[in-house]
Structure formats: structure tokens, C-alpha cells
Chains A and B, each alone.
Chain A
Amino acid sequence: MQVTNKLTPFFENLNFERDDNTMVINFGPQHPSAHGQLRLVLELDGELVVKAYPDIGYLHRGIEKMGENMTYNEFLPTTDRLDYIASTANNYAYALAVEKLLDIQAPRRAQVIRTMLLELNRIISHLFFLATHALDVGAMSVFLYAFREREFAMDLMEDYCGARLTHSAVRIGGVPLDLPAGWLENLSKFLAKLPEEIQTYEDLLTENRIWKMRLEDVGVLAPEEALSWGCTGPMLRGSGIKYDIRKEEPYELYGELDFDIPVADTNDSYGRYRLYMEEMKQSARIIKQLIPMYAKTEPQLMAHAPKYISAPKEEIMTQNYALMQHFVLVTQGMRPPKGEVYAPTESPKGELGFYIKSEGEPYAYRLKCRAPSFFHTGLLQELLVGTYLADVVTIIGSTNIVFGEVDR
């Protein structure tokens, strides 16, 4: 690792002209397997990486600052652009933080729908991980098959909220829409097909000798390192540490549901791959339990909190007070009480949480997003040292970083 200090910060102690055999190369920011805009400065000795320095910021949009200049409701579609592979997870994390600040709770039907969407997004995200990871390592057919299944899952998202990628499918205090007719049947059909498809991927990869050779003992992350780098999600559980926020601090309906969290103790990329496969099956299991729960709920979708949340559309269209309140809430924004909150959630990639400091104004005084991929990118400078250039792609794929989230 580079030794940095104030006088010689990162780049300046990288010596580009050298007389020994090492070579400095740039990996990215436009490398197809750099998962977005990752620029890696690698110092190579032959094929061996001796120093790695991830350089981020190529996708920086100032989303946190935007959050401080927008009303709470307006900011929600912006969170879609964080982890754009599973955008509902971001919407939800943000909505949860604001709900905690307002001290309101979504009605039960909204909770069921949200949990379903969250797990559906986890499946979408994991399929995407599998597809790109396999493609990076060289298994093209898995990429095609996994993307096919992902399209079906995204069809479900489209039927629910009208968008395939940037869902905005959650609102502060509930969900905007009820499930359309026939959606649950389509969902059940998808879930019935999913194990078959997972079996296809497993047939192609799990035992495959090339896949094993490329993944086993590559990107070994010791449990202590995983902890000290702030890893969460599958990266942490892939190092044998039992920590999943859905179990440790249950939010939404996770406390009532019955599911297992897989943990792998080989610490390598192969263990993490198996973990992702198992998590997909567990997500399907969660959704299956939620389907009968939906029918038992009242039709209310948004929490009843006139001070913060607009009335349903039919009330706005028929009742004067509801309309006036709606105008105030849209034009001025809600004014949450003073205070600060942090609400962690388990997004497909790890711990995703929003910190909000409110001064009682319609705009947050400070909004901070704790995104898992950011920490996993920093980890690269330790994980890549001592590996071969060919494994760099495997390791980046295995950390499952997405750059919307890193650069924010």
C-alpha cells in the first residue's frame, strides 16, 4: 500500500518514471469491467500488482448537496441514481430515514409491498452481479441467461411503478400505488421459474473447473480486515462474519419473516459467489411468505399524517382542506421536527443508510449517504496488492461495486 502523508499525498509519490522493472498502468475509467467509472492506478512488477490506488469521482454529481437544496419529497427520485441496479433499495433507505425523523410508520399494506419490492430488487441486483461477474471472468452464456431473468424481474417492477431502472417506487410514509391486478400471479410465476434458472447458472458455474480456478483463493479478505475496512453485506459475510441488518436491527417486516442468512468462511471470491446464489434463493423464500400476507391487509397505502403527507388523490380532488394542505406540502415541503437520524438498511450490496440532520426547515441541514460500495472500493488498495493483473477484474467483480453509489 502507498504510504501517504501531507507532503506527498496519493499521486505525488507514485513515480511514473522508474528504472526498475515496475510499470504504472491506468485501469479505467472507461474499462468495461470497471463497473462504471473506476480508475485504478496499478503499479505492476511483471504481472504482479505491487500497488493499487483506486481513484474515484468521475461520476460525482453532488447528490448529498442536492439533498440539502431540495424538499424531502423532491429528493426521493434523486436517490434512484445512487445504486441504479436496485434503486428501490435506495428509495427505501431514504424514506425510512425521513420516516424515523417524522416518527411515522407506513401502513401494513405499504410495508408488505415495500418488503416485496426490496427483495425483488435484491434478486435483480444479484442477477446483475452474477451476469457481470461471469462476463468479466469470461463466461458469456451466464451473462445472457442471467440478464434474461433480470428482464422478467424488471417487467414486474415496470408493471408496478412504471420504470425499469429508476423506480422511485417508495414514498415517504408508504407507497404511491397499490399492486396492479394480476401482479401477484405474475410474481408467483417468476418465483416458480427462478430456482430452475438458478440451477442453470449453478450447472454452468459452481462446479466448473475454470470458474473455480479463477475464483478460489482470489481476493482473500481476512475477517479482521473486512471489519477494519468497514465492509458490510456479502463482503462481510463472505469473510465468515455473521452480520446482516435484516436480522440484527430488523426494519419493515423482516422481524416477522423466516429466512436464513448464508455465511461463507473461505474468505475468497468463490465463497462470495456462492453466498450471492444462496441469498437469491432466500429472497425468493421471503417473497413467497409475503404473498399471502398481502391479502390480509387494509387497503390504506400512505401513513395518515396530515402535517407531513398529502391526502390520497381522490380526497385532494374532492375536499377543499385536503387540497389546501396538498398545495402547502408541494410548494413549501414538509417541515420535519428538529433532530438528527441515521437509519441503516441492508441493501443488496451492504449497509446503506441515510443520515439526516434537520433544523425544522423544509430542507435538510445535512444529508449524508452511507453507501456500501464506497468502502468496498477503498478496500481494493489492500485486496489487489499481491495478486496478478488477470485477477484484478475478478476481484473488482466480486466486490460488486456500483459507481453511482461510490461517487454520489
Chain B
Amino acid sequence: MSLEEFKNRNIGKQNYVKLDLEHTPQTPLGRFSRVVRRTLKGELFVGLYVTLREMINALFRGEMHTVKYPLEKLPISPRYRAIHDMLRLLESGHYRCIGCGLCEKICISNCIRMDTRYDENQRKEVSEYTINFGRCIFCGYCAEVCPELAIVHGGRYETASEQRASFSIFEDMLTPVDALKQQKEYDGFGAVSPNADENIKKTPLAY
């Protein structure tokens, strides 16, 4: 390919359509007739009609598109990525997190801090787990990598608080024990696919 060909970006042949646009007239007469044509056109009334129509739709036909926010709230989608929840096992009520640290590693803004230790039965226990929500970008990667479906996103999106520390405590994110029945699985990043049961094959060979 020669350089000239290479630099020629005007190469399209198929499916390019030229828009039908009016060029500015070059002659004084052409310009004058355009002024006359545009002066006599009624397009401003069309515009007025459109805004009037929208106003009537909003005020009288119930098509108002705004809500009075703190009083009315729009529903958010089940996949919405807001403040995290730590889930519990349904059977035992113990928290699901096994302290593997994958979420801490993947976190893009390095806002997860955690520590583990052996408890009295020599089992691993999460002794500390905080997420700094001042830094979190709600990317959903922690939920995506968690092998236990322990950390998920919840629906709490109003994050204003008097103190920075308020959101970052493990116990606050953890489902309360008495609300275990209402605990819902998260549908967004990191969720198992809807037909997970069929997808599981007995013999893992590829990995």
C-alpha cells in the first residue's frame, strides 16, 4: 500500500448516505430569496406547539417526568450497585465470608481492609473487615470475585452521613440475624447464572 493510499481515509463505498443539506447560497439573489423564504416560514409555531403539548401532557395528562425526590423515590433495579451487604448462610446464620481476601486484592481503589485470625476452635475467623466508602467506586468487582457470594451490593444508595466511619463497619453491612429470612441473593455482578444447576458438570477437566 502506498503512503497516499494509506493516508486516504475517504474509502467508503457501501452504505454511506449523504445527508440532504442545503448549502449557503453564494449569489446575493439566492441569499435574498433564502431570507424571504425563511422569514415567511411557520416553523416557530411548530416549536411553540411542541412545548405547549409537552406542558399540557405534564400538567393535565399525568405525564410528569420528575419526582419530588426526598418525598418520592424511584425504585432501583435489583442489580443496582450501592452500599455493600455482607450476607449470612441461610442454614447456620454464620456470615458467609471465609476471609479469603480476594475482594481485598481485586478492589480497584484499595478500600477494603480485612484481617483474619484463628478462633478458639482453630478455625479461620474474620476479625476485621472494613470498606472505606469514601473511596469505593462501586465497580462491583468485589461481588464478582467473591467465591462465597458473601459480599454483594445492597440497595442503600443515600450515602450521606455525619461521620466517615459510619458505613464501613462489618456489623453494619452484615444481615441482622433476625432478618435472615428476608435476606435476598444479589442479582448483579458475581451472581450465579440463572440455570446454574444444569450448567454444573461433574468432572472438571479444563481447569
Spell out A's residues near B (CB within 8 Å).
Answer: 70, 73-74, 77-78, 80, 141, 145, 148, 151, 155, 158-163, 166, 168, 176-178, 180, 200, 203-204, 207-209, 212, 216-217, 223, 227, 236, 240-244, 247-248, 258-266, 270-271, 274-275, 278, 299, 301, 304, 306, 310-327, 330-331
| Cα-based distance from A202 to B18 in the complex (angstroms) | 18
Q: Indicate if B1 sits at the interface (CB-CB under 8 A).
A: no
Q: Can you add 11 more A-B contacts, CB < 8 Å, to A161-B140, A330-B145?
A: A141-B50, A158-B79, A162-B140, A162-B188, A163-B80, A208-B43, A208-B44, A242-B12, A264-B19, A313-B149, A326-B145
| Cα-based distance from A70 to B76 in the complex (angstroms) | 32
| Nearest residue, chain A, Cβ from B82 | A162
| Cα-based distance from A74 to B140 in the complex (angstroms) | 11
Q: Indicate if B144 sits at the interface (CB-CB under 8 A).
A: yes
Q: Which of B38, B43, B149, B207 contacts A319 (CB 8 A)?
A: B207
| Cα-based distance from A232 to B9 in the complex (angstroms) | 10
Nearest CB in chain B: distance from A195 CB, A: 15
Q: Which of B11, B23, B43, B80 contacts A242 (CB 8 A)?
A: B11
Q: Is the CB of B191 within 8 A of A177?
A: yes
Most buried by B among A212, A266, A314: A314
Tell me whether chain A's interface is mostly helix, strand or loop, or mixed.
Answer: helix
Write 13 A-B pairs (CB below 8 A) sorted by A numbering. A70-B108, A161-B79, A162-B188, A178-B193, A178-B194, A207-B43, A265-B19, A271-B21, A314-B192, A319-B200, A323-B147, A326-B147, A330-B145
Q: Which of A161, A208, A217, A240 contacts B189 (CB 8 A)?
A: A161
Q: Is the CB of B77 within 8 A of A158?
A: yes
Q: Is the CB of A236 within 8 A of B9?
A: yes
Nearest CB in chain A: distance from B100 CB, A: 8
Q: Which of B47, B76, B102, B149 contacts A208 (CB 8 A)?
A: B47
| Cα-based distance from A278 to B19 in the complex (angstroms) | 9
- Say whether, besides A241-B9, A263-B18, A74 and B108 are in contact (CB < 8 Å): yes
Count, chain B residues at interface, CB 8 A: 64
Q: Indicate if B10 sits at the interface (CB-CB under 8 A).
A: yes
Q: Is the CB of A158 within 8 A of B76?
A: yes
Q: What A residues does B18 contact at CB under 8 A?
A: 240, 262-265
Q: Is the CB of B41 within 8 A of A207?
A: yes
| Nearest residue, chain A, Cβ from B35 | A209
Q: List the 6 closest A-B pairs by CB distance, nearest first.
A: A242-B12, A321-B207, A77-B139, A314-B196, A162-B79, A207-B43
Spell out B's residues near A (CB within 8 Å).
Answer: 7, 9-12, 14-19, 21-24, 38, 41, 43-44, 46-47, 49-51, 54, 65, 76-81, 100, 102, 105-106, 108, 137-141, 144-145, 147-149, 153, 187-197, 199-200, 204, 206-207
Q: What B residues does A159 contact at CB under 8 A?
A: 77, 79
| Cα-based distance from A146 to B77 in the complex (angstroms) | 22
| Cα-based distance from A96 to B38 in the complex (angstroms) | 48
| Nearest residue, chain B, Cβ from A178 | B193
| Nearest residue, chain A, Cβ from B137 | A77
Q: Is the CB of A315 within 8 A of B80?
A: no
Nearest CB in chain A: distance from B136 CB, A: 11
Most buried by A among B21, B22, B65: B21
Q: What B residues does A258 contact at CB under 8 A?
A: 15
Nearest CB in chain A: distance from B102 CB, A: 5
Q: What B residues does A80 contact at CB under 8 A?
A: 139
Q: Which of A203, A208, A241, A322 contacts B10 (CB 8 A)?
A: A241
Q: Is the CB of B15 within 8 A of A203?
A: no
Nearest CB in chain B: distance from A149 CB, A: 10
Q: Is the CB of B9 within 8 A of A266?
A: no
